[in-house]
Structure 1
Amino acid sequence: MQKSKVFAVSAALATVATLAVTTAHAALAQGQPVIGLITKTDTNPFFVKMKEGAQTEATRLGAKLLTGAGKADGDNAGQVTAIENMVAAGAKTILITPSDSKAIVPAIAKARAAGVMVIALDSPTEPASAVDGLFATNNYQAGVLIGQWAKKAMGGKKAVIATIDLFPGQPVGIARHNGFLAGYGMSGVSAGTAGQVNAGVACAQDSFGDQAKGQTAMENCLQKNPDINLVYTINEPAAAGAYQALKAAGKEKSVLIVSVDGGCAGVRNVEAGVIGATSQQYPLKMAAMGVAAGVNYAKTGKKVSGYTDTGVNLITNKPESGVKSQNGKYGLANCWGK
């Protein structure tokens, strides 16, 4: 029975892949540019909105969009398969948010050798030169903004810091974490710092950007040091989880939480006082720019190059002097997700 189920699932996946190739080849025959979008997951609201933005722009520009994703953050094998399928389908541009910035590089190299332009969205590859271009938030600057705000908001109180991070070695997680510490005033940390700095941090735990794991991470940190009064989180789902742990411990009013992303649920948590401040990024813009670049490549043969900053804004309802910010109303007008 189990084998029958596995064969049935495999057959279904093969049928989907064959259908995608067939429809892509039909689009090519009609002169439509074929563009692939590969996200880390299909469920994270950030990537759901990215997919929506890519589809809207592809429709507007008359391109055929193929989509794929890993099963979860860190699923490199799933992304490799998606690249191979899209190359076979005739995609001339692939947009990807790499789950594993190093392990994905060989698959990207094969695609580029086949004439495919590859653009990283949101997360850089290692090395950055593994792709033709990167459209992304400056994640280090996003961290700096919440670090600067937190320093002011703490009002001279000694910070006992917990960081609820992504997972080891992920460039986005490292950049946001280090940016937060630099913004708070830690010396010796810069945008070029390669590894995650934990000096001056009372507790650092990984959450994989997940709410339930964020709650567990915060519980672990409170066990390690109950005096924690400032929490940095990699994203707003992790922040929501951390808040639940703090609330269960009766500490939700005495601990300040800052985060990064700017999703609608996260901004509503800023409005509710769950999150003190968050740095908002713009996945719709990343995706739309990537699709437009892909269509231009199909028409002109001109590839993009280097890094394009897609912007970041600090969202808070408690502005601090010297730290540029927008309020929750602005955040809700520009957020993504539900």
Structure 2
Amino acid sequence: MTRTTGLGLLASAAAMVMVASGAHAACLIGMSNYTLAAPYFAAQDAEAHKKGAAEGCKVISANGQNDMTKQISDIEDMVSRHVDLLLVNARDPEGLVPAVKAAVAAGVKVVAVDSGLDPKAGYITLVQSSNTQNGLLVGRWLANKMGSTPMKIALLSGDKGNIVGQERRDGVFAGIVEGQLAGQGHVNFTVVGQGWGGWNQQGGMTAMEDLLTAHPDINVVIGENDSMVLGAQRALEQHKRDTGVTFVAAADGQKQAIKLIEDGKYGATGRNDPTLVIDTAIDVGMKALHGTLPKDFPKTDYTKPVAITKANASQYYKSDAVF
């Protein structure tokens, strides 16, 4: 059964508007997302409809429901409907290669977004925030914030085998190491446990409760996205253990997290703006359709890395943002 959230309904409403008004669209854009269960992905979907409409295109989208077989079927269906441009947020970097290659062979312009996809799939470029660079910035901020205080870290990861999650946590830990070496000349942190939160708040809350039971002296929570950290924060608040704990996320810049950063209740997050990623991807795709994309366009197109902290949160907080 598909989970429908308020954001999912917003995306669906946008899809229906586009279908109703797209009879004279200049092009057809497909958005294949591997899940809409987390707010970030729902925001991507909604932005694809909005940006596509602004380009005069009809947009169709599909929720892969975190099932690679379904996402493959979704892509095949979009190709059969003769999409001109296909955006793919891949469930698996290898498993989707045949489906994407088939789309490219059929003349579809394919742009990967957010999640890694093996380059042999033949897509134009992968548009994403730099998980490594955002993580480095967040890790360095954390090392500076904690100073000489030994860190006892609870790590909240999305799901096993996900390359984006691995890049994000590796980036944060590299940043901690660099920050501590620069500030103290030695490294002093411990990851007391890793929990799997499935990228959502409820998962982060459950994982945090399990970690807290085994390690009551946690003083840092690092998550691979904001949603899981927000869930962890709720768990610690309920157990009256949130005082003295520093919360950071490698990504995303979710508006609830940014507001808490402004209020001094959350440390830092990496900027991974779903609106910026999708807008950039569609811009690239439209240039490819019009034959104006440079032949030497990079295989990965990164958005600018930023650690959002109390010092700059006001620049990035948007109360009316979907995400």
Pick the TM interval, shorter chain: 0.7 to 0.9
The Cα of 1:268 is off from its aligned counterpart by 1.7
User: Structure 2: how far apart are the matches of 1:228 and 1:210?
Assistant: 21
| Structure 1 residue 221: Cα displacement | 1.2
Q: How many residues align?
A: 294
The one-letter code matched in structure 2 to 1:83 is I
- Does 1:314 pair with 2:314? no
Which whole-Å CA distance do the structure 1 matches of 2:212 and 2:153 have between them?
A: 11
Measured against aligned partners, the alpha-carbon deviations of 1:49-79 in whole angstroms (never above 9, x if no partner) come to 22333223222222221111222xx321221
Contact 1:281/1:311 (8 A) holds in 2:
no
| Structure 1 residue 334: Cα displacement | 8.9
Q: CA deviation at 1:200?
A: 4.2
- Give the gaps of 5 or more residues in structure 2: 1-11, 180-188
Selected match of 2:143 from 151, 165, 172: 151
Q: How far off its partner does 1:239 sit? A: 0.8
Deviation at 1:43, TM superposition (A): 4.4
SS of structure 2 residue aligned to 1:201:
strand
Is contact 2:152-2:218 (8 Å) kept? yes
Name the residue aligned to 2:257.
266
Structure 2 residue aligned with 1:195:
none
**Structure 2 CA distance for aligned equivalents of residues 217 and 46 of structure 1:** 20
CA distance in 1, matches of 2:321, 2:305: 14
With 200-209 and 174-183 compared, the bigger mean Cα shift is at 200-209
AA in 1 matched with 2:74: A
- CA contact under 8 A between 1:35 and 1:294: conserved in structure 2? no
Alignment partner of 1:201 out of 191, 210, 217: 191
Contact 1:87 1:111 in 2 (8 A): yes
1:166 to 158, 176, 185: 158
What TM-score, normalized to structure 1? 0.79
**Cα drift, residue 31 of structure 1:** 7.1
2:286 to 295, 303, 307: 295
For residue 305 of structure 1, report the CA deviation from its aligned partner. Answer: 4.8
Residue 229 of structure 1: CA displacement? 1.0
Q: 8 Å contact 2:109–2:289 — kept in the other structure?
A: no
How many angstroms apart in 1 are the aligned matches of 2:72 and 2:218?
40
1:44/1:213 CA distance change after superposition, 3 Å: closer
Q: Retained in 2: the 8 A contact 1:262–1:336?
A: no
CA distance in 2, matches of 1:53, 1:114: 26
Deviates more, 1:254-263 or 1:38-47: 38-47
User: What's 1:246 paired with?
Assistant: 236
After superposition, give the CA deviation of every residue in 1:73-126 in whole Å (9 maximum; x if it has no partner): x3212211210111011012210111222222221122122222221111111x
Q: Does 1:51 align with 2:42?
A: no
Instruction: Provide, for residues 199-257 of structure 1, a one-character-per-residue CA deviation record: whole Å limited to 9, x for no partner.
Output: 94210111111111111111111122222111101111101111122123322012111
Moved segments of 4+, more than 6 Å? none
Contact 1:122 1:136 in 2 (8 A): yes
Matched AA of 1:314: A
Q: 2-side partners of 1:32 and 1:276: how far apart?
A: 45
Q: Does 1:35 align with 2:35?
A: no
Q: Does 1:331 align with 2:316?
A: yes
**Counterpart of 1:247 in 2: which secondary structure?**
helix
My pick for the range that moved more, 171-180 or 35-44, is: 35-44
TM-score, with length taken from structure 2:
0.83
Identity %: 28
Provide the C-alpha distance between the structure 2 equivalents of 1:296 and 1:179, rounded to a whole number of angstroms.
32
Please give the root-mean-square deviation of Cα atoms over the aligned residues, in Å: 2.7
Could you report, residue by residue, the CA deviation over 1:124-155 in whole angstroms, capped at 9, with x for unpaired residues?
11x23423211110011111111111111112
1:333: how far off?
3.7
How much does 1:306 deviate?
0.6
One-letter amino acid of the counterpart of residue 36, structure 2: D
Q: Is the 8 A contact 2:38 2:199 kept in 1?
A: no
How far residue 266 of structure 1 moved from its aligned partner, in angstroms, is 1.7
Task: For 1:204 and 1:335, locate their aligned partners in 2 and report how far apart those are by CA, in whole Å.
Answer: 33
Identify the residue that residue 112 of structure 2 maps to in structure 1: 120
**Cα–Cα, structure 1 residues 250 and 337, in superposed 2: closer, same or farther, change >3 Å?**
same
Deviation at 1:261, TM superposition (A): 0.6
